[in-house]
């Protein structure tokens, strides 16, 4: 896949502030791919998007579009289209003419521009809505029109700045599906800002985790979840389990026991925090020899979060969080065993915090089923 957009060493400070908003940000977005910029509030996501759009100017670094440096090229001439949280449609134009607007400004005849706009309205499933006033549409429909308008301009890069954050959960899911279908049909190059990690994983090929104006990791979404580059990325991605220990020859030694690490990575020897996700933990009913390593644990808490059931356990004095299957009856105080698949384990540098704090009053000791490094 060729690189459509290259952001190279971008830095930016706003006047009067001693802290830079962006520091040495580098990202490459392949043609036809979608990268989500994910980060907490104030991490610099919108500033980065605005710099790419030509609406903010970096102090250092370059932005290249298909090899051309965009420095000095104005926002209108970058050929990019932006969709933000609010659809910002022209209230005096009907739906069709909103979508046809860019083409008519370029001098395309009204009839041809409208025919083209109609095709984009079909794509966003608003085929019969062309002659309506934009004020007569729901928030989700208006956002569909904004996306159709942006795509109709045939942008070199589609910039999405938290485009679905004003919509309710159900509409957001349907917009994710819509974006998925649009990507299949049109393969636009997309850079999207979001603070919602589920949205990033649902929509994007790659996720760039931004914090304090720095890119902490830029990888496919599943890798950012399973192999975070740092403890901060693990926490930003909602990882809850952290266990202090030491790595030696590809094995992590901790209160949980000796756990072999995936062989596809060269894990450096020394102190390291074992991290794994709640949803990766298994609840074997009848653990036997040959099953993945299991650890004895006591259920200390149960919480229902929508369709998920989160279980807190104390294992060898370490507090862990797991997602339990619905079919498994569990109550606080149950003695259970948990399994931790090899592929779900990763180690990062740092110091585990409260989640790995010793559970008070726990008398459970670490009992791994297998001796030695457990697979």
Ligand X SMILES: Nc1ncnc2c1ncn2[C@@H]1O[C@H](COP(=O)(O)OP(=O)(O)OP(=O)(O)O)[C@@H](O)[C@H]1O
Q: Which residues here bind ligand X, judged by CB under 6 A?
A: 14, 21, 39, 41-47, 195
Least CB distance from residue 349 to ligand X, whole Å? 25
Least CB distance from residue 57 to ligand X, whole Å? 11
**Burial label, 188 (beta-carbon count in 10 A; 0-12, 13-18, 19+):** buried
Q: Which C-beta is closer to ligand X: that of 94 or that of 165?
A: 165
Q: Which C-beta is closer to ligand X: that of 26 or that of 104?
A: 26
Q: Which C-beta is closer to ligand X: that of 63 or that of 275?
A: 63
Least CB distance from residue 281 to ligand X, whole Å? 31
Q: Which C-beta is closer to ligand X: that of 42 or that of 79?
A: 42
Least CB distance from residue 214 to ligand X, whole Å? 12
Whether the CB-CB separation of 54 and 121 falls below 8 Å is answered with no
- Write out the two tokens for 129: 């809505």
Q: Which C-beta is closer to ligand X: that of 2 or that of 17?
A: 17
Least CB distance from residue 88 to ligand X, whole Å? 16
Q: Which C-beta is closer to ligand X: that of 45 or that of 114?
A: 45
Least CB distance from residue 46 to ligand X, whole Å? 3
Least CB distance from residue 210 to ligand X, whole Å? 7
Q: Which C-beta is closer to ligand X: that of 45 or that of 172?
A: 45
Return d(Cα 149, Cα 144) in angstroms, integer.
9
Least CB distance from residue 73 to ligand X, whole Å? 21
Q: Which C-beta is closer to ligand X: that of 46 or that of 300?
A: 46
Least CB distance from residue 3 to ligand X, whole Å? 24
Return d(Cα 77, Cα 55) in angstroms, integer.
12
Q: Which C-beta is closer to ligand X: that of 46 or that of 254?
A: 46
Query: How does strand 270-276 pair with strand 241-248?
Result: antiparallel
């Amino acid at each position: 896949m060729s690189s459509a957009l290259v952001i190279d060493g971008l830095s930016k400070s706003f006047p009067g502030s001693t802290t830079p908003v962006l520091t040495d940000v580098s990202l490459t977005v392949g043609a036809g791919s979608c990268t989500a910029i994910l980060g907490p509030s104030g991490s610099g996501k919108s500033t980065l998007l605005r710099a790419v759009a030509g609406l903010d100017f970096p102090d250092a670094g370059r932005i290249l579009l298909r090899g051309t440096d965009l420095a000095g090229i104005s926002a209108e001439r970058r050929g990019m289209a932006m969709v933000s949280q609010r659809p910002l449609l022209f209230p005096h134009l009907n739906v069709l003419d909103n979508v046809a607007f860019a083409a008519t400004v370029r001098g395309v005849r009204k009839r041809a521009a409208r025919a083209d706009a109609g095709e984009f309205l079909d794509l966003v499933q608003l085929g019969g809505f062309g002659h309506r006033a934009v004020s007569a549409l729901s928030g989700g429909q208006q956002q569909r029109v904004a996306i159709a308008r942006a795509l109709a301009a045939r942008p070199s890069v589609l910039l999405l700045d938290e485009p679905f954050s004003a919509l309710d959960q159900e509409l957001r899911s349907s917009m994710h599906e819509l974006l998925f279908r649009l990507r299949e049909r049109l393969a636009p190059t997309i850079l999207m800002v979001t603070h919602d990690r589920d949205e990033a994983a649902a929509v994007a090929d790659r996720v760039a985790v931004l914090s304090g104006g720095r890119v902490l990791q830029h990888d496919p979404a599943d890798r950012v979840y399973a192999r975070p580059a740092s403890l901060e990325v693990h926490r930003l991605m909602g990882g809850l389990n952290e266990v202090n220990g030491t790595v030696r020859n590809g094995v992590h030694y901790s209160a949980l026991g000796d756990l072999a690490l995936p062989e596809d990575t060269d894990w450096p020897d020394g102190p390291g925090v074992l991290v794994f996700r709640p949803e990766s933990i298994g609840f074997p009913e009848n653990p036997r020899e040959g099953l993945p390593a299991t650890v004895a644990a006591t259920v200390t808490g149960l919480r229902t979060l929508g369709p998920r059931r989160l279980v807190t356990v104390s294992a060898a004095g370490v507090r862990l969080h797991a997602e339990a299957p619905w079919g498994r009856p569990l109550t606080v105080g149950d003695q259970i065993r948990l399994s931790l698949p090899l592929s779900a384990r990763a180690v990062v540098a740092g110091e585990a915090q409260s989640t790995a704090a010793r559970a008070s009053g726990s008398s459970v000791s670490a009992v791994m089923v297998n001796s030695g490094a457990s697979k």
